[in-house]
Amino acid sequence: MKRVLISLPELNIEQKAKLAAAAEGCELVYVPEGAVTRDDVEGAEIIIGSVPAGLLHQPGKLELLQLGSSGADAYVADGILRPGTVLTTCTGAYSQTVAEHAFAATLMLQKKLHLYRDAQGRREWTDCGAVSSINGAVVLVMGLGEIGRYYARMARALGAYVIGVKRRPSAKSDCVDEQCLTEDFDAVAPRADVIVSFLPGGPATTHFYTLERFRAMKPGCIFVNCGRGSAVSAETLEQALRSGCIAAAAVDVFETEPLPAESPLWGLENLLITPHASGFFHLPATLDRVVDICAKNLKAQLTGGELMNVVDFKTGYKK
């Protein structure tokens, strides 16, 4: 009997039943997030949930690590998982919640609602001036995965011209008007009124948004980052916003989290900060999607079926 360690947020009866049905004949052990021990890990053939990478260190029995997250950065380094262990993610489960957060932030900045909220806090009846619209805007979506495509569909539905940028060549997605590769960014970025980043982590995307690249953007451009905080340094973002390289930004992810209280970013009125809240499980449907993916991969692993969202250890991305 195989032992399945499940470390996800608290599940309801229906969600647990779905996992149990997928793991017929297995022993299911539920351990709350944050309470997993090395003994728990060592005793499991299958783990479901993003257990701390520091607890792994090539656990000898582990066949499958099904993360509860979409990112796998911490688990692809040498020495974390033994050779032969399959690593899968929940890519796709967070597309709605992250994309809607990014889209709401876009509209908020375009209509200067962040400034009106600040004025409300000061009890000031003030007009914050001209606004912009998503209708007719050129929107550049960096990272055309599940989240990027979800965002692109919403932007196009409201009349935006959407340029999708992705890592590998493929047929043009029907959710964008134009599609190009990452190496084309410098050529297309100056056309954009809005740049939304859903870039994954990794060496290729670390500090991708340099000050030179911000300087090449439209002065009135809006920048939204709901991908990885490592894509832009706090210092570069501050300089871009203070200098007027871009008009405003909404950022949900930072290199250092929590963002230190002494960071000068907190004091910028043209920056909307959220505490890595676009994903997680604030939208209840997200956990349902996570459980669906985990159950399908659990059953596939036990029956020899095809697994979803298998990670390539060389790139750290989905194969």
276 is catalytic: yes
- Closest alpha carbon to 253 in 281, 226, 283: 226
Instruction: Out of 10, 27, 257, 269, pick the active-site residue.
Output: 257
Of the candidates 82, 167, 276, 289, the residue annotated as catalytic is: 276
What is the C-alpha to C-alpha distance for residues 83 and 93, in angstroms, rounded to an integer? 27
- Rounded to whole angstroms, how far apart are CA atoms 181 and 162? 14
Q: How far is it, in rounded angstroms, from Cα 187 to Cα 24?
A: 53
Rounded CA-CA distance 165/180 in Å is 5
Which has the closest alpha carbon to 318: 299, 297, 298, 304? 297
| Residue among 144, 54, 136, 66 at smallest CA distance from 99 | 144
Counts of helices then strands in the chain (DSSP H, E):
9, 12
> Cα–Cα distance between 19 and 47 in angstroms, integer?
12
Is 124 among the catalytic positions? no
Which residues on adjacent β-strands are paired with residue 46?
A: 4, 64
Task: Please state, in angstroms and rounded to a whole number, the distance separating the CA atoms of residues 152 and 144.
Answer: 9
Alpha-carbon distance of 202 to 315, in angstroms, equals 8
257 flagged as catalytic: yes
Hey, what amino acid is at 294? C
User: Comparing C-alpha atoms, which of 214, 279, 282 is closest to residue 249?
Assistant: 214
Enumerate the β-bridge partners of residue 222: 194, 248
Tokens of 247: 């008009």
Catalytic residue (choose from 101, 114, 213, 228): 228
142 contacts 185 by C-beta, under 8 angstroms: yes
Lateral strand order in the sheet of 86-88: 27-30, 3-6, 46-48, 64-66, 86-88
| Residues identified as active-site | 228, 257, 276
